Structure 1
């Protein structure tokens, strides 16, 4: 009885397998997406360094000893704010001297003018010689010129006196003071008193190889590639993303002979002061837009041992066609395919396991809902027989 029960179970099990095998011999169901040309940004990621938007050295314009310092090192200073005071006594004395010289010149000018006016009627009646009158007029004019000269000297003295207060040339954050109170400074010295840098916004200097830039310029206006205003995103040295975005302002018109690169300068906001001059960052930005690209889901593209990319398509009569494509970068969850596909191609994205070119498939749109039918009565009997066989 035991052998009979086991034999009956094995027969039912074989019948179940046979039914499954019959179902497996039909065409494989695969999911596909229909691709259409679209616009895809040509994103580039390059090394870059940050630099201050504005940078200015604080320098003395007169000679003297520093008497006072009006700022705190590392603080934010405003344009025109007093930073240092140089001993003004000598320059104030020079202003007083220039004022006295101007008064003397004006007095002399008045005397010479009156004398020339007195000689004029006398020269008309020949009471004085014409030469004496000519000399008087010339002397009066010289006195007028002397007034202008002494007036200019007074203005120069006032300017030098004003230079004894050293103001901030720009608005920004000031660094450490390189000279202390009591130090002797001069207008011809090489070292600045301090340095001010404007850190909001910041410049980002991006280095791109001349060969890549040449290739980009050749591809513009060809194959649907058009230029675009590049939006720059940064990755900091610790690998985190910098929250703000900027734009590329310009690229230099020369190539660095040592590195073979061209510098592109971008401007990016820095309201929190997170970026500092000299920081190393990674800048990603789009220099152009490919208007004839295809976005293919990443799971649909495979690569061989040499790195060549291929996709499976649903061809004529429902047969699988393997096609090589060019896909150098990704955009989100898709590969950007620049060649190898045509509009309305059906790219297989589901059911790719063990799929071979030339296979007959049943193609349905990807992620289509599948209808699950209830099991047939015969299948229930088979399952019951299978269970009984296992039990036996």
Structure 2
């Protein structure tokens, strides 16, 4: 090929390459310009907040306690002849648990009965004697002093009858005490004394223990400072009392299932721990709760009547950890406001300060909204309407594609 022709072809290739580069640049600039035009005001979703009543739920530790507990003790001294129950079983009130050797008490009862009969006979004789002396004393056949002495002896004999009758009743009671009954209905523990053991009425150790486990008490410890703050809030009208329905979390982290109620609160503070004991009662039909278990109790102690519920997505934290929300301003701009977010209830933050009734809190699109910048606010749940491009934009886009 001649040298001139080669030079002409090279110049032509360079010209075509430059033209293509200019065309691509033109298309790119047009695309960037269109992209810039597509960026508009961010669309966000908001909720209108109103004050509502929110239970103030607290969680405290507690210990389970038997509803009733009774130590079985002997009322008389003697040797245990028989044990009439199975350890760990349910016993009924009045059921005989132990039998103490009754022979001494049978003898004491018989002796008291004989003494009563003797006293009654003596009383009858002295009464008849006094009755006979009375008419004789009236006619001075006997000295009046003799009649007075006879009447006094009759009264003494009658008093002796009362004394011996009381002694007989005591002997009978002691005889009945040789059969040791169950004072309450409940589950009985192990026996601390066996057959043949000597027991006394003044011993320190009980024979056994009976506990009623249905229902069951839970003693909850609350700080006296928290209780004082609660009472002040109730007195000021910022909170209302709640029906204290209590839920339990067991030692393994599971929920107990049954709910209980707070029965009372003690009127004194423990000097060692600075706490006040609240007692709750729980049904325990399956015997799952046992005395001495550690549990976590949660319940609503009061109701905050001026709180706001805001979805968690609408509350953020700044670098210092303070809670903030974005509001829809009257001028269509986003406004940042600091709030007091005390706790979480379900999917919402409980806001106790910083909001007013009717405020529009942004909960959707918070990542696109910036403080003091224009926004397009719609209620939460509204479908976003995507505006189609204008006719001029379509032509420009087509021209750009053709040029490209």
Give the shorter-chain TM-score range: over 0.9
Q: CA separation in 2, counterparts of 1:111 and 1:384? A: 145
1:144 to 1:313, Cα distance in 2 relative to 1, 3 A:
same
- Structure 1 position 45 matched with structure 2 position 43: no
The SS at the match of 1:316 is coil
Q: CA offset at residue 46 of structure 1? A: 1.1
- Structure 1 position 136 matched with structure 2 position 174: no
Unaligned runs of at least 5 residues, structure 2 = 1-12
Q: Aligned residue for 2:199?
A: 185
Q: CA separation in 2, counterparts of 1:276 and 1:380? A: 81
- Structure 1 position 247 matched with structure 2 position 247: no
Q: Confirm or deny: 8 A CA contact 1:300 1:347 kept in the other structure.
A: yes
Instruction: List aligned pairs for 1:257-296, cutoff 5 A.
Output: 257-296=271-310
- Partner deviation per Cα, 1:176-208 (whole Å, 9 max, x = no partner): 111111110011000000111111111111111
After TM superposition, which residue ranges in structure 1, 4 or more long, deviate above 6 angstroms? 1-10, 373-378, 383-389
- Partner deviation per Cα, 1:86-126 (whole Å, 9 max, x = no partner): 11111111111111111111111111111111111111111
Q: Aligned pairs, how many?
A: 388
Q: Aligned residue for 1:23?
A: 38
Q: Confirm or deny: 8 A CA contact 1:9 1:387 kept in the other structure.
A: no
Q: CA offset at residue 209 of structure 1? A: 1.2
Structure number with larger C-alpha Rg: 2
1:319 to 1:376, Cα distance in 2 relative to 1, 3 A:
closer
Q: Confirm or deny: 8 A CA contact 2:42 2:368 kept in the other structure.
A: no
Q: Aligned residue for 1:232?
A: 246
Q: CA separation in 2, counterparts of 1:12 and 1:94? A: 124
Q: Aligned residue for 1:215?
A: 229
Q: CA separation in 2, counterparts of 1:380 and 1:207? A: 76
Aligned-residue CA RMSD (Å) = 2.4
Q: CA separation in 2, counterparts of 1:109 and 1:386? A: 138
Q: Confirm or deny: 8 A CA contact 1:8 1:385 kept in the other structure.
A: no
Q: Aligned residue for 1:201?
A: 215
Q: CA offset at residue 304 of structure 1? A: 2.1
Q: Aligned residue for 1:163?
A: 177
1:273 to 1:64, Cα distance in 2 relative to 1, 3 A:
same
- Partner deviation per Cα, 1:263-300 (whole Å, 9 max, x = no partner): 11111111111111111111111111110010111111
Q: Aligned residue for 1:332?
A: 346
Instruction: List aligned pairs for 1:97-176, cutoff 5 A.
Output: 97-176=111-190
1:109 to 1:309, Cα distance in 2 relative to 1, 3 A:
same
1:235 to 1:379, Cα distance in 2 relative to 1, 3 A:
farther
Q: CA separation in 1, counterparts of 2:398 and 2:188? A: 85
Q: Confirm or deny: 8 A CA contact 2:27 2:403 kept in the other structure.
A: no
Q: CA separation in 2, counterparts of 1:72 and 1:293? A: 57
Q: Aligned residue for 1:305?
A: 319
Q: Aligned residue for 1:367?
A: 381
Unaligned runs of at least 5 residues, structure 1 = none
Q: CA separation in 2, counterparts of 1:162 and 1:5? A: 121
